[in-house]
Structure 1
Amino acid sequence: MYILLLISLFFILLATLVIMQFHIPRNVIHGIKKRFGNSLNTQNFVTITEENVKEVLCYKKLVPVIEKAFSDFSKCDGGITQPVRVKFPAEKNSSGNYYVMPCSYNGVLVTKLITQFPQNNPRIQSVLTVHDAKEGSMKALLESNLLTAARTAAMSAVATKYLAPTNSKVLAILGAGVQAKSHYFALQSVKEFEEVRIWNRNYLKAETLAQQIGCRACESAEDAVRGADVITTVTGSDTPVLKYEWVTNGAHINCVGGNRPSWQELDPKLMQNAIVYTDTIESAMEESGDIILSKCKIYAEIGDLVNRTKPVKRDQTTVFKSLGMAAMDAAAAKLIYETYTAEQLQF
């Protein structure tokens, strides 16, 4: 009876921890599994937390995976099924939005659920499910804020690999949030920058990030971008923060913010005078204020460069307008899932 009572109390405690979403240390989990075997497997999928994603994330591995996803998406037979993302207001007259992004790619079915509330910190929160595409069984549930930031940065890294000036030395980042930090590490994985500059409307935030990653904070956007070879805009601004006359001819720009039809990060004149690329032309024409309001022409998708179906115009000023794709979520999620589960087997 005493042993049965202890076992009952143990299971009550374990259930309580799960309900409270308490993150049990990995060594404790493996100790429990070793002692009790598979009797504790109450679910057939793994839960991957933000901390788990951080532990296994590697841009040297992620960027090539995203590059292949770009290639496959721009092919007619690339094996990607990606419906247009669903978006609607959280409530009537609400400033918050809810997004649903499904995709079938490379053996997995992935759906990401996103909330975007401007007053929140972080503004964007998301979770992602992974199912096996052949059997339909659920494989994983991921906290996907970090995954989203990483795959977005990796997308910019692929664009930078193909479009940045050959001997790029100076990187400027406008913005100092999560995306700014992820872009710093992702872009450094494809180019060896000698100088990195950070600007944010809140100078203290720029200074804090600069100290964390070892670069220079600038008091104005103009100071940050003058003479830069690569410029990345990752702000929440709805009006342009980057002006045409500040940009060196031949520079490459990753435009990541301004993801609503009425929002802009770049000067319309800059958009009109640059060679503009995007992740998906269909989404860009419907969702990007930088493209819609400037009435600029889109030259190609990044996948066209990877597939060599369009020539690379590296000698001219280029803009990559990034909006995000469910296919990139699927590619990143599969890599994270496989890396994480492989590490678990080593214990």
Structure 2
Amino acid sequence: MPDTPLLLSPADTARALPYPALAQAIEAVLRDPGVTVPPRLVQPLPGGGSLFVMPAVSPTVTITKLITFVADNAARQLPTIQGDIVVFDTATGQRRCIVDGPTVTARRTAAVSLLAAQKLAPRTDGPLLIVGAGVQGRAHLDAFADGLGLREVWVVSRSTDSADALVTHARARGLHARRVDDADAALAHCPLVVSCTSAQAVALRGTPRDDAFVAAVGAFTPQMVEWAPDVCQRLAQRGTLVVDTRDADHEAGDLLQAGIDVAALPTLADVVLGTPAWAQARRGGPVFFKSCGWAGWDLAAARCVVGAKPCP
């Protein structure tokens, strides 16, 4: 083994992580009793950014994700998320490879939403409404198109140029796509909804359809928010709320700001494993899936990478 581990480019990382396979790998992590994921460390940085340190361990592969998040980096023409994931052999402790952190973050977040939609969405034929046309908007469009057979997408963004670019991308994939200006009005027409804004302020005040599946991914700290508190409260009363992991208990800004007892909600693991918590929580109406992120998702991606393109 060479002293320097293989460094995968963003393109190589993406090729190793097709969305349907990554969703399956995420489900496998949730079913694997040998996986250990300690709480992530979030270190504030001078100027308002954050450093995230996220380890995860499985019997074969161990990872540490090191990324920075700086919300206003767009003004500097820099990515909001930067960093890498170091992949180790669990048995020997040797570095296997280093993969591109932003690419993994985008793809595993969208793959988690895909898995949740596969398990929870009352209907998957669309149209899909994407609110926020950045990196996550494109990743979710691709994930849902690859994993659900999506045929139509509507896009809302504060930036007309970003929305038009995502519409062009969707049409290049053979999808029917349009830009719309009113996200709340579009909710009435779209049974699939993904909110992936910068989550610096409420972006949605309308109520999703009774047969809707919502993946809310933009807010991943208690201070961030995309959905109005009264909407979240109505969804808690007449629908089903699910969080990605128990880390959401103290991170799910949309739900926490609505005064919802997040710790009482089922997780995606409860759904996958069919636990009593899921059986008790499951009911009709819209499904609101709140995703905050977890190093287990990055571990799933690392296992995909190692399996798809073994590192020396």
TM-score after normalising by structure 1: 0.80
Q: Aligned residue for 2:156?
A: 199
> Taking CA–CA contacts closer than 8 Å with sequence separation of 6 or more, which of the two structures ends up with the larger relative contact order?
2
Query: CA separation of 1:119/1:240 partners in 2, compared to 1, >3 Å: closer, same or farther?
Result: closer
Structure 1 CA distance, aligned partners of 2:43 and 2:290?
22
Which letter does structure 1 place at the counterpart of 2:31?
Answer: S
Deviation at 1:167, TM superposition (A): 5.2
Q: Aligned residue for 2:253?
A: 289
Percent of residue pairs identical: 29
Range 82-91 or range 48-57, more displaced: 48-57
Structure 2 CA distance, aligned partners of 1:258 and 1:45?
34
Deviation at 1:219, TM superposition (A): 1.8
1:132-153: CA deviations, max 9, x gaps? 1111111111122111110000
Deviation at 1:44, TM superposition (A): 5.2
Deviation at 1:108, TM superposition (A): 1.2
Secondary structure, counterpart of 1:341 in structure 2? coil
1:1-347 maps to which residues of 2 (within 5 A)? 42-43=2-3, 45-72=5-32, 78-91=33-46, 94-120=47-73, 121-166=78-123, 168-214=125-171, 215-245=177-207, 247-274=208-235, 275-281=240-246, 283-298=247-262, 299-309=265-275, 310-311=278-279, 313=282, 315-341=284-310
Range 184-193 or range 206-215, more displaced: 184-193
Which letter does structure 1 place at the counterpart of 2:106?
Answer: A
Secondary structure, counterpart of 2:147 in structure 1? coil
Residue pair 1:198, 1:224 contacting (<8 A) in 2 also:
no
Residue pair 1:276, 1:321 contacting (<8 A) in 2 also:
yes
Deviation at 1:60, TM superposition (A): 2.2
Secondary structure, counterpart of 2:194 in structure 1? strand
Residue pair 2:66, 2:101 contacting (<8 A) in 1 also:
no
Secondary structure, counterpart of 1:140 in structure 2? strand
Structure 1 CA distance, aligned partners of 2:119 and 2:83?
30
Query: CA separation of 1:228/1:314 partners in 2, compared to 1, >3 Å: closer, same or farther?
Result: farther
Secondary structure, counterpart of 2:224 in structure 1? coil
Deviation at 1:106, TM superposition (A): 4.2
Paired residue total: 294
Structure 2 CA distance, aligned partners of 1:269 and 1:145?
33
Structure 2 CA distance, aligned partners of 1:334 and 1:174?
30
Which letter does structure 2 place at the counterpart of 1:280?
Answer: T
Deviation at 1:330, TM superposition (A): 0.8
Residue pair 2:187, 2:206 contacting (<8 A) in 1 also:
no
Which letter does structure 2 place at the counterpart of 1:243?
Answer: R
Q: Which runs of 4+ in 1 moved over 4 A?
A: none
Secondary structure, counterpart of 1:294 in structure 2? coil
Secondary structure, counterpart of 2:63 in structure 1? strand
Q: Which ranges of structure 2 fall in alignment gaps of 5 or more residues?
A: 172-176
For the aligned residue pairs, the C-alpha RMSD in angstroms reads 1.9
Q: Aligned residue for 1:7?
A: none
Deviation at 1:54, TM superposition (A): 2.5
Q: Which ranges of structure 1 fall in alignment gaps of 5 or more residues?
A: 1-40, 73-77
Secondary structure, counterpart of 2:93 in structure 1? coil
1:57-85: CA deviations, max 9, x gaps? 3112111111222334xxxxx11211111
Secondary structure, counterpart of 1:333 in structure 2? helix
1:157-214: CA deviations, max 9, x gaps? 0111111113533110001011111111112233233321011011221011101122
Deviation at 1:102, TM superposition (A): 0.5
Structure 1 CA distance, aligned partners of 2:160 and 2:184?
14
Look at both structures and tell me which one has the larger radius of gyration over its CA atoms: 1
1:293-323: CA deviations, max 9, x gaps? 1112443001111111123846311111101
Structure 1 CA distance, aligned partners of 2:307 and 2:178?
37
Which letter does structure 2 place at the counterpart of 1:84?
Answer: P
Structure 2 CA distance, aligned partners of 1:90 and 1:286?
20
Secondary structure, counterpart of 1:125 in structure 2? strand
Structure 1 CA distance, aligned partners of 2:59 and 2:160?
43
Q: Aligned residue for 1:37?
A: none
Which letter does structure 1 place at the counterpart of 2:42?
Answer: K
Structure 2 CA distance, aligned partners of 1:48 and 1:101?
19
Structure 2 CA distance, aligned partners of 1:161 and 1:314?
17
Range 198-207 or range 158-167, more displaced: 158-167
Structure 2 CA distance, aligned partners of 1:46 and 1:322?
30
Structure 2 CA distance, aligned partners of 1:124 and 1:212?
22
Which letter does structure 2 place at the counterpart of 1:288?
Answer: A
Query: CA separation of 1:163/1:314 partners in 2, compared to 1, >3 Å: closer, same or farther?
Result: farther
Query: CA separation of 1:255/1:50 partners in 2, compared to 1, >3 Å: closer, same or farther?
Result: same
Query: CA separation of 1:181/1:326 partners in 2, compared to 1, >3 Å: closer, same or farther?
Result: same
